Amino acid sequence: MNVIKNWLRQNLKGDPVLWGIVILFSLISIAVVYSATGTLAYKQKAGNTEYFLLKHTGLIFVGLAFMWLAHRIDYRYYSRLSLYALLISVPLLLFTFFMGSNINEASRWLTIPVINQTFQPSDLAKLALIAHVASMLSRRQQHVQDFKTTLLPVMLWVGLICGIIILSNASTALLLFATCLLLMFIGRVPLKQMAVMVAIGAVVGGVGLATGQRMKTVISRIENFTDKSKPVPFQLEHSYIAIATGGVTGKGPGNSTERNILPHPYSDFIFAVIIEEYGMAGGVFVLFLYLAFLYRGLLTVVNSYGAFGGLLAAGLTFSLVLQAMVNMGVAVGLGPITGLPLPLLSMGGTSLIFTGISIGIILAVSRGEREIRPMVGEPADTVRIPKVSAYA
């Protein structure tokens, strides 16, 4: 037992509670995805009901491996890497929009040759933009009220990335824009400048929707949500049925019936399957895990010594938790359908890798400044984020 404890202390750095939360999410994900994909696997894989289980489990281990690698790196390297990642993301996003795989009337995916695995460049762009906005704000803490010095470069990068993403994926673009606004608020950007950011974002977003692929879909989904005279969309109707029949304790693992009817029960509406099988108790427990993840992430923000580490951890934490809240809100009818998966639980491909990297970076920040020495030629980042604004 002592050997195992020593090995864990030496190899799993950072917040141990955060590690525990991620491992719990991984176990829940394997169980729920196996149940949600059983029928699909039986139909598509000639009765091999374990096909998606084995594939998803393998991808979870790959994601955990990337998380481990990311948490071993001095997090300040991500400040330098973020710009290069953004420069790669822009042509990738444009190429995907014009030449990518078109699924459900949206070009969001590139197929990686040889392994034949789909990849969403927006996952890379999202991670890169959050890291770069954190970097820009941390370097400009002494000039945070200067429009030209601070807001203009942030606005250009956020507008460019979100503007390209919204051409084919409105929900991801809006969520990323909201995350960047939260980062600006935490980074002490004046509210007047943030209002300018919102106004320009609305214009860029409107143009992107009008010229992109998702305008009709966005309008349709908003109308379905706001106009109560219209019938409930098919997906939401069966999501409600799953939740209603789950009761308090659920039907039990593997006993979902709506998984055979719901579109994408292993992704967009996996929360409904969780409640159907594990009841309201299971749904509340999943919600509690996300709130615990948020709390530990904010604790990392408050305890970080440098402004960049705090902003980076805050941006990545909010990005994951906001997406989770939106997904769960859609499943219970609190918002229009978005198509966003439930992070850490939904079946995915390369998205699991980018989620793992994001959490690994948060863990790298949580390792604390005691283990990190200033890199050669780099001035120490000594600006702390006020604790009050970190929680705001």
Annotate 162-191 with DSSP letters as a single string: HHHHTTT-HHHHHHHHHHHHHHHHHTT--H
Grouping H, G, I as helix, E, B as strand and the rest as coil, residue 111 is strand
Query: Which H helix or E strand runs over 102?
Result: strand 101-103
User: Cα-flanking dihedrals φ and ψ of residue 118, to 5°?
Assistant: -75, 150
Give just the sign of the alpha carbon dihedral 25, 116, 82, 339. negative
- pLDDT of 289 reads 97
Structure tokens at 162: 């979100």
User: Cα-flanking dihedrals φ and ψ of residue 169, to 5°?
Assistant: -150, 85
- pLDDT of 337 reads 87
Q: How far apart (Å, rounded) are the C-alpha atoms in residues 313 and 75? A: 10
The percent of residues above 70 in pLDDT, for the chain, comes to 87
- pLDDT of 106 reads 62
Residue type at 107? S
Give just the sign of the alpha carbon dihedral 193, 312, 107, 339. negative
Distance of CA 41 to the CA centre of its chain: 26
Q: How far apart (Å, rounded) are the C-alpha atoms in residues 267 and 257? A: 16
Residue type at 63? G
**DSSP one-letter code for 370:** G
- Per-residue tens of pLDDT for the chain, all 392 residues: 676 666 667 677 888 999 999 999 999 999 999 988 877 777 777 777 788 888 899 999 999 999 999 999 989 899 889 999 999 999 999 888 887 666 666 667 777 766 667 778 899 999 999 999 999 998 888 877 877 877 889 999 999 999 999 988 889 999 999 999 999 999 888 888 899 899 999 999 989 888 887 788 888 888 888 887 888 888 899 999 999 999 999 899 988 889 888 888 888 899 999 999 999 999 999 999 999 999 999 999 988 877 899 999 999 999 999 999 999 999 998 888 888 899 999 987 788 999 999 999 999 998 865 455 444 444 444 444 333 333 22
Structure tokens at 372: 């990190």
User: Cα-flanking dihedrals φ and ψ of residue 223, to 5°?
Assistant: -65, -40
- pLDDT of 220 reads 85
**DSSP one-letter code for 147:** I
**DSSP one-letter code for 109:** E
- pLDDT of 7 reads 65
User: Cα-flanking dihedrals φ and ψ of residue 335, to 5°?
Assistant: -160, 165
